[in-house]
Amino acid sequence: MKNFRELLASDGVYVFDGAVGTRLYDKGIYINRSYDELNIAAPDLVREVHDEYVAAGADIIETNSFGATRHKLQPYGLESKLREINLAAVRIAREAAGETVYVAGAIGPLGLRLEPFGPTSFEEAKEMYKEQVEALREGGVDLFVLETFSELPLIEQAIKAVRELSGLPIVAQMTIQMDGKTLYGDTPEQLTKKLDELGVDVIGLNCGMGPNHLLNALEKMRRVTTKPLSAQPNAGLPRDVQGRQFYMGSPEYMAEFSRRFVQVGAKFVGGCCGTTPTHIKLIASAIRADSPRQTAKSFVQQPATVAELKPDDVQVVDPVERSRWSAKIARGEFVTSVEVLPPKGCDAQKTLDSIRLLKDAGVDGVNIPDGPRAQTRMSAQATAVLVEREIGIEAVLHYCCRDRNLLGMMSDLLGAAALGLHNLLLITGDPPKMGPYPDATAVFDIDAIGLTNMVNKLNHGLDLGNNPIGKPTAFSIGVGVNPGAVNMEEELRRFEWKVEAGAEYAITQPVFDTDQLRRFLGLIEHVRIPIVAGIWPLISYRNAEFMHNEVPGVNVPADILERMRIASEKSKEHAREEGISIAREALIETREVIQGVQVSAPFGNVKYALQVFEALDEFRDGKYAEALPAA
């Protein structure tokens, strides 16, 4: 590979990668983790992100080390692993880069206030940066990228740290606000002149704003320097949706602005927060259409799919052969299930006795929740094993992300496969503060989307890092979905991601508003997978009020609330019968648009759940009728 300084001297325009953090987040890594630690905790996942950007056409990829300085690592107890994390970041990026792509050592702000506004001196800041610079240099980067800085004094210390330890090129990128200035009031012209004086090789802007604001600033910067310029904007302005950041700039929009960046003098273009391999692919295509030096690299390989990564000697188990539950769903047949909570203690006999009624009645499966509402109960996996071995009915095991890190989840899933469990419902899980132990901590290494991706890989004989595991698992992959979500845009987006990750069926939140369910089914027609409707037999007016007001995403229509109020005023028995009647009506009204039903057993009483099934012809008139309890 050529020296990066030779590239600086050339006439070409070059493409940086996009957001590494965004892609890790898309793959299910929660923001409460140190993304830098993933270099040693999940290196194959980081490599997968780099591979995607290389395949998309990036000429330069940045190491996953933006926050790998001592102060940023301290909150996670990782400061002693600073060198290991940065060395791993370079190694992983280098493996993905091969011989044709440059590796840039990414360095971000310290997250500290410098003198005179804070207690950290300039010298202390420089020494902190030198620790990281030394490790990245030792790892073998081709250049350094100092990015997302708002303070000129801070980036000056980072530049000095690099210069004292290395002669490698420096790309220095500041971030600006809506007013076109940095957080500390520096104009594009001022920051450009200062960075030019500090002797960096490339001056640029990244993050903060979308491409339109960066273009305006870049035009001003070009007037005061002859140094190469760089632009790596966010994919538009972020929208905060219930704590999640979504960037709305389309790949086509970003590609168009990349041309404009080049027209005003940018030599390097790429993306920051919200940009993906798709954005970079279109940016690279747009740039290379105007840059003849890239014609030899016109073919851009797409990121490999899970199926393409599958080892040649692995035969993926057909859904029809995984389980009876999976077979019925794959064949388009209607499935029935009842949700039964695991026992509160270590004695499961009462729970097993109630589930035996389900098997006798001909129900296809029993759904075993995993710590619902953050309550402490017997593990769902242990309960599921007891159910299948002692009763003979198939379990649909709920599996949540709350209580386990990546390694623990991988171990659990491999163990579940070895124990003969095949049907999964993958959920993120309720936070501990909902339960009786609010001080308990949650892990949330990944969410349900990342978990779905993990299980799909296991079904293809791969672990999360695409390493072969030998015999593949044979899981039927189910996910949760909420037709009554307050933010439907977010719910639809997450559902699309779940289907893309490998979901094969979905079970809804309890449905009381059948029109709402029908509207939702129309919205997901483009990514439709079999839908199993959740049905909850109400037992009282207070129960109905609770479901309507305290269970997120559940809507109990006013007419149903009124029916339950009137029935409850008569007696508990009237209320219970009215609730069962409402559940039957919901099942009848949705029967033709769903492929299954999950009926909850209120307070563990499966007899109430079984009475709901009388709405189905096969239960009311078929061979299972005699097994149903009397109303």
Provide the token pair at 241: 């949706």
CA distance 98 to 119: 43
Residue 553 has, within 13 A of its CA and on its CB side, a CA count of: 17
pLDDT at position 153: 94
Q: How far apart are CA 611 and CA 147, in angstroms?
A: 62
pLDDT, position 303: 47
User: What is the tens place of the pLDDT at every residue in 337-382?
Assistant: 999 999 988 999 999 999 999 999 999 999 999 866 546 789 999 9
pLDDT at 629: 46
Arch. (CATH architecture) of 319-537+589-615: Alpha-Beta Barrel (3.20)
Residue 591: band (very low, low, confident or very high) from pLDDT cuts 50, 70, 90: very high
243: left (phi over 0), alpha (psi -120 to 50) or beta: left
pLDDT for residue 300:
35
Parse the chain into domains and list their residue ranges: 4-297, 319-537+589-615
pLDDT at 46 over 70: yes
Q: How far apart are CA 465 and CA 47, in angstroms?
A: 8
pLDDT at 631 over 60: no
Strand-pair partners of 426? 399, 479
pLDDT at 299 over 80: no
Mean pLDDT of the chain: 87
* Banded pLDDT at 400 (limits 50, 70, 90): confident
Which DSSP string corresponds to 400-461? ESTT--HHHHHHHHHHHHHTT--EEEEE----GGGSS-TT-----SS-HHHHHHHHHHHHTT
Six-digit token string for 608:
């109430």
What tens digit of pLDDT does each residue of 132-181 get? 999 999 999 999 999 999 999 999 999 999 999 999 999 999 999 888 89
Q: Do the first three CATH levels of 4-297 and 319-537+589-615 match, i.e. the same topology?
A: yes
pLDDT, residue 548, reads: 84
Give the least confident one: 189-193, 540-544, 594-598: 540-544
Does residue 316 sit in helix, strand or coil? coil
Other CB atoms within a 10 A radius of the CB of residue 257 amount to 20
Q: What is the pLDDT of residues 477-536, one digit of tens each?
A: 999 999 988 889 889 988 998 998 899 999 999 999 999 999 999 999 999 999 999 999
Q: Is the pLDDT of residue 199 over 90?
A: yes
Per the CB < 8 A criterion, the answer to whether 29 and 46 are in contact is no
* Residue 290: band (very low, low, confident or very high) from pLDDT cuts 50, 70, 90: low
The percentage of the chain sitting over the pLDDT mark of 90, rounded to a whole number, equals: 63
Architecture of the 4-297 domain: Alpha-Beta Barrel (3.20)
DSSP E strands in 315-364: the ranges are 335-339
Residue 346 CA, distance from chain mean position:
34
Determine if residue 484 is left, alpha or beta; phi over 0 gives left, psi from -120 to 50 gives alpha, anything else beta: alpha
Q: What is the pLDDT of residue 242?
A: 46
pTM of the model: 0.56
Q: Rg of the chain over CA atoms, in angstroms?
A: 28
Single out the residue of 72, 147, 151 nearest to residue 105, CA to CA.
Answer: 147
C-alpha distance across the termini of the chain, in Å = 78
Window from 112-116, 261-265, 273-277, 617-621 with minimum mean pLDDT? 617-621
Would you state the pLDDT for residue 158? Answer: 97
Q: What is the tens place of the pLDDT at every residue in 314-325? A: 899 999 999 999
Please name which of 42, 83, 25, 36 lies closest in space to residue 62, comparing C-alpha atoms: 36
Q: What tens digit of pLDDT does each residue of 516-532 get?
A: 999 999 999 999 999 99
Q: How many CA atoms lie within 13 A of 221 on its CB side?
A: 32
* Whether pLDDT at 570 is above 90: yes
Is the peptide bond prior to 537 cis by the omega test (within 30 degrees of 0)?
no
Q: What is the pairing mode between strands 238-241 and 244-247?
A: antiparallel
Alpha-carbon span 346 to 343, nearest angstrom: 7
pLDDT of residue 241: 46
